[in-house]
Amino acid sequence: MLLYIYDDLNPIAFGLGSGASLLLFRWLLYGVFQGISLQQFYYTAPESIFYIVYGIVFYIIRRNAVSMTYLRIFIISVATDMISNIFETYLRLGRQLFTMGYEIGRALLLVGIIRGALVCLMVMIYRYYRLFLIKEEHEERYRNLLQLISQLKTETYWMEKNMDYIERVMSNAYRLFSDISEERNERNWGKEALGIAKDIHEIKKEYALVVMGMEDIMANRLDDAGMYFDELLDILQKSLEVEARDQHKNIEVQCDVGENFYTCNHYYLMSILRNIAMNSIDSIDTRGRITISHAIQSEFHRFTIEDDGEGIEKNDLPNIFSPGYSTKIDYSTGEINRGLGLALVDSIIGEHLRGSIEVRSEVGKGSSFLISIPIRELEGVER
């Protein structure tokens, strides 16, 4: 059943391992109670051959199947089981198999159908159980998201209130400026200046509350349950594809999970990968490719984000992680990007995750960002 659930399993290696393990276990078991003999080996060997043939046949049939529907699972299971049983039976009966071919064939087909039905049933139960767990997890995240939005709405209210304060301070400051310029109402200058100072102090207090509230929200959010890297990468890939379409660009986003892992720092990781990938989208004119890959080397997670965009000038490379630095200018309006994305990436990697980032770029060919983060920082464990 494991072969039908986990695509990463090598059927041939799994079959060889199962057959060898069964042979060794039976031989040792018989050896403890009855003593080791060749007869016991000959008796157990055909059963081990069953698993080896099963793995080989499964590999041959499975590699041509695009998706594993329940009908395909049933057909593959019946065919694989029947072929493997024929090999095992031939090793036990020899040429007798051909004299009793019809009866044995019918029996083996019946056994294959029963086992195929059981495999389908178990795979179905497993899939529904997995969907149930995923649904529960998504519902929990949705509840957390609603709570987060509610908290953010509260902070938004305080910010809107402060905007009214700021408008009033601006109006009072301009009136005081006009009075001073025209030397009017000189007796009220001190009173008006004191009023402006009091209003600014109130604004400062309100914004201090907003900052505290936002920090609490983010602290609680970052303490939320983690997620697997393949889930994070799937979300990231879809969001990047949507962003590329919104910018009317034909960009292929390729993601290679590498070795999957579970992390509670997925917000940091998402922020790192998304900010770099967004820069890649901006660097591509109308058509291109972005590749995000992952591998584990030694005690580090290695992430690589590559694009075939316009690249970065050699003189600009030392400055790209500086706050406010940006080469993204809209020449039609004169607006310049804030230049905080890569600065944020550098801060998260260096200060929060104790990692490092390296950039390689060539004008006209594209850029490559190489990120190294210790395993213990992302997974909380040593390997």
Same domain, 374 and 235: yes
Look at residues 106, 111, 118, 110 and name the one whose alpha carbon lies nearest to residue 73.
118
Residue for token pair 């601006």: 170
Higher pLDDT, 96 or 231: 231
Domains held by the chain: number: 3
Helix residue ranges per DSSP H, the chain: 2-5, 11-33, 38-62, 70-93, 96-99, 101-182, 189-222, 229-246, 266-283, 341-347, 375-379
Average pLDDT over residues 345-360: 92
Q: Are residues 204 and 283 in the same domain?
A: no
For the cut 60, the answer to whether the pLDDT of residue 11 exceeds it is yes
What is the per-residue pLDDT across 279-311, written as a single tens digit (0 to 9) for each?
A: 999 999 889 999 999 999 989 999 999 999 999
Q: Looking at the structure, do residues 189 and 289 belong to the same domain, yes or no?
A: no
Q: What is the pLDDT of residue 382?
A: 55
User: What is the average per-residue pLDDT within 165-193?
Assistant: 84
User: Is the four-CA dihedral 261, 262, 263, 267 of positive or negative sign?
Assistant: positive
DSSP state at residue 350: I
Domain that residue 91 falls in? 2-99
Final residue before a domain boundary, out of 199, 222, 245: 222
Q: For all residues of the chain together, what is the average pLDDT?
A: 80
Buried b (16+ CB within 10 A) or exposed e, 152-173: eeebeeeeeebeeeeeebeeeb
Q: 234 and 164 in one domain? A: no
CATH code assigned at 194: 1.10.287
Does 41 share its domain with 164? no
Compute the distance between CA of residue 232 and CA of residue 301 in angstroms, rounded to an integer: 15
Q: Are residues 12 and 33 in the same domain?
A: yes
CATH of the domain at 322: 3.30.565.10
> Same domain for 268 and 331?
yes
Region 128-154: mean pLDDT is 69
Q: Which of 99, 114, 133 is the last residue of a domain?
A: 99
* Amino acid type, 51: Y
Per-residue pLDDT band for 155 (boundaries 50, 70, 90) equals low
Going by C-beta distance under 8 Å and a sequence separation of 6 or more, which residues neighbour residue 144?
221, 224
Which residues lie below 8 Å from residue 287, measured CB to CB, with a gap of 6+?
249, 250, 251
- pLDDT tens digits along 39-98: 666 667 777 888 888 888 888 877 766 567 778 888 888 888 888 888 888 777 777 766
Q: Which of 67, 99, 131 is the last residue of a domain?
A: 99
How many Å separate Cα 136 from the centre of its chain?
18
- C-alpha to C-alpha distance for 296 and 372, rounded to whole angstroms: 9
The Cα–Cα gap between 363 and 137 comes to 44
Phi/psi of residue 85, nearest 5 degrees: -65, -35
- pLDDT > 70 fraction of the chain, expressed in percent and rounded: 77
Residue 106 is assigned to a structural domain of this protein:
no
Token duo for residue 378: 């992302």
> Per the structure block, which two tokens stand in for 242?
């949507």
C-alpha span between 121 and 292 (Å, rounded): 37
In a shared domain, residues 216 and 232 = no
Residues 263 and 362 in one domain: yes
Whether residue 336 is predicted with pLDDT greater than 50 in this model: the reply is: no
pLDDT of residue 339: 46
Q: What is the pLDDT of residues 200-214, one digit of tens each?
A: 877 777 777 777 777
Whether residues 244 and 363 share a domain: the answer is: yes
Q: Are residues 172 and 280 in the same domain?
A: no
* Sheet with strand 356-362: strands edge to edge: 250-256, 287-297, 300-307, 366-374, 356-362
207 and 242 in one domain?
no
**Is position 121 within any domain?**
no
Count the residues in the chain.
Answer: 383
Strand duo 250-256 + 287-297: pairing: parallel
